[in-house]
Chains A and B, each alone.
Chain A
Amino acid sequence: MNAPNFVYVTYIKTTPQKLWRALTRGNFMLKYWHAKIQSTWKRGAKVQTFSRNDRLDWNGKVLKYDPPKLLSYTFQIMGYQKRSSRVVFEIEKMGATVRLTLSHYGIEPRCRAGIAGGWPVFFSSLKTMLETGKGMKIPG
């Protein structure tokens, strides 16, 4: 098996359950990201995110769904990645905080820099939303 292209870690003052919902529920994701995620979360089911104008953004399939610890799905940004990659989210409770690790595998070389720039923004907004109740979304 190949090594991940990227591994990101952040520590968030929240509970594993709340973080799990933030990653898997559409309206929760909209609080910190510009798209909402949709899936039945059954193995092999579609995982998709849609921007506000209903444009399909991420497209993939559920590989592992083990709440609130391990979430994995195939991942392709439509109109950007020519082939599918794979993301693994691991959630670990550490005292009053939760450690979130994202490992991203199999990204085609041409898309690596772009994706590397995107996840820290996602993580940072997710953390802000969970810790303060507000994402970095500015109205208007």
Chain B
Amino acid sequence: MSRNEDRVFNALADGSRRKLLDKLCAKNGQTLGELCAHMKMTRQAVSKHLALLEGARLVVTHWQGREKLHYLNPVPIHEIQARWIAKYELSRLQALDELKTELERKKR
């Protein structure tokens, strides 16, 4: 698993790649052409960065007809986060769930 984490950290250690992730976060499912419009670099360079992000599983692609769409995959980042700080996520969710039920019960 650590080799995978190395890939994630390596992929994130570059401003252009973080910018690409920001663009996908703002609008998911973009083509290479759309992403190039935001970047001051050649299409080949953008394509290379995307391949690296894909290798780190931070970007996943989906074929929509003849178009290859790129999606932000936050799962590897969440896994890293879960390792150190989010162990209590599920109990927090459960607490939120109970709060919601309680508030809805009071509304009635």
Contacts and interface: CB of A to CB of B under 8 A. Distances in A.
Interface string A118-140: 01110111011000000111100
A53 B60 contact: no
A45 interface: no
B10 interface: no
Contacts of A6: 28, 71
B94 A7 contact: no
Contacts, number: 85
B62 A4 contact: yes
A138 B88 contact: yes
Contact of B93 (A1, A119, A121): A121
Interface in A1-47: 1, 3-11, 32-34
Range class of the A interface residue count:
20 to 34
A55 B87 contact: no
Nearest to B64: A3
A52 interface: yes
A118 to B, nearest CB: 8
Range class of the B interface residue count:
20 to 34
Given A123-B78, A136-B87, A103 B62 contact: yes
A121 B71 contact: no
B73 A52 contact: no
Interface string A54-82: 01000000000000000000000001000
Contacts of B88: 136, 138
Most interface-central of A7, A53, A137 (chain B CB within 10 A): A7
Interface of A: 1, 3-11, 32-34, 51-53, 55, 79, 101, 103, 116, 119-121, 123-125, 127-128, 135-138
